[in-house]
Amino acid sequence: MARPRPRGGPTWEEEQRLLGKGYRWVAGVDEVGRGPLAGPVVAAAVILDPDLELPWYPQLQDSKVLSPRQRGRLAALIRGAATAFGIGAADAQEVDARGVVKATRAAMARAVAGLALRPDYLLIDAVPLPEAQIPFRAIIRGDALCRSIAAASIVAKVERDGQMERLDETYSGYGFARHKGYGTQEHLRRLGALGPSAIHRRTFAPVRALLSPAQGTEANSRRAAGRAAEQAAADFLQARGYRLLDRNFRCPWGELDLVAEEGGTVVFVEVRARRSDALGSPLESVTLGKQRRLVLAAQEYLQQHGLESRPWRIDVLGARLGLGGQVEALEHLEHAVGL
């Protein structure tokens, strides 16, 4: 991992060196959100042209030293002037399942994959990224040294802050719009009073401390039942001629259990596992807030996969579980969520 000599601020030195060697598209990559107790890790990849000599280039700095207003203004300028930019994320569930380091690298790889053109070289803030299969250099304090990395840090920070402000509307009471999921005293007080939300990272110590062993056992049982229900749902759809496109697609808005195709229509399927003695229909268990997040997640999937022009819908597939957690029956509700 490279450790350049600190200087007065970010420059184009690394980018110009690579361009001089014949690389054409050099992308800066950075992330934000590894430390918070809640919310996603968000990464950005940005390709800027140093030769444009835009008047705001000297204002590019590590996002942490800029005010929110400065970051917002610069993020808009970066997006408008960039040759290409991409954004990737890993939600709290992925952080818990894979660990924050692997989840961060996954978010970075998604940001690079989201670029409109494939870069020749990556300049990354500190984190090696071999999975991108692109030559790279990981630079400690890269956002304070390289302007393209600084630009990526600004775009990632503004994107994540905006996501946390929107998530605050869905998960009210925690103050996410103010502290952005970081472990402030206010956040810890509200977490203690309300308990963890769906976007809290359960493997992080302050959140884990609120989960009793009994709660952990119950959560494991629910996850196992959920996996069984998803597999039964996938088998059910494929037996009826659906083509399975994806499973457990994660984005900042949540997770899409199944993505399938039927007669040219992209079908997003929310799988709901319910005990036989539970009251109400599977659809009744999908709250309005959850429905809104499903629509946003579906739109994100379509955009990432270049499917915006395709017809699509959101179905709910309810799985009735027996006392032992086995799937006893399935109920398929087409067009269950209004678009």
Tell me, what's the pLDDT at 102?
93
- The single residue listed with the structure tokens 């996410």 is 176
Q: How many CA atoms within 13 Å lie on the side-chain side of 315? A: 22
Q: Look at strands 327-333 and 312-321 and give their pairing.
A: antiparallel
Sign of CA dihedral 42, 43, 49, 50: positive
Cβ-in-10-Å burial (0-12, 13-18, 19+) of 68 comes to exposed
Tell me, what's the pLDDT at 6?
45
Domains detected in the chain:
13-167 (3.30.420.10), 213-333 (3.40.1350.10)
Tell me, what's the pLDDT at 156?
98
pLDDT tens string 8-44:
689 999 999 999 999 999 999 999 999 999 999 999 9
Q: What are phi and psi of 45, to 5 degrees?
A: -125, 130
Is the pTM of the predicted complex or chain greater than 0.95?
no
What is the rounded CA–CA span in Å between residue 149 and residue 45? 8
User: Residue 191's closest CA among 199, 338, 295?
Assistant: 199
Tell me, what's the pLDDT at 328?
82
Contact 276, 323 (CB under 8 A): yes
pLDDT tens string 113-151:
999 999 999 999 999 999 999 999 999 999 999 999 999
Tell me, what's the pLDDT at 4?
45
Contact 165, 176 (CB under 8 A): yes
Could you say which residues of the chain have pLDDT below 50?
1-6, 279
Q: Which two tokens stand for residue 1?
A: 């991992």
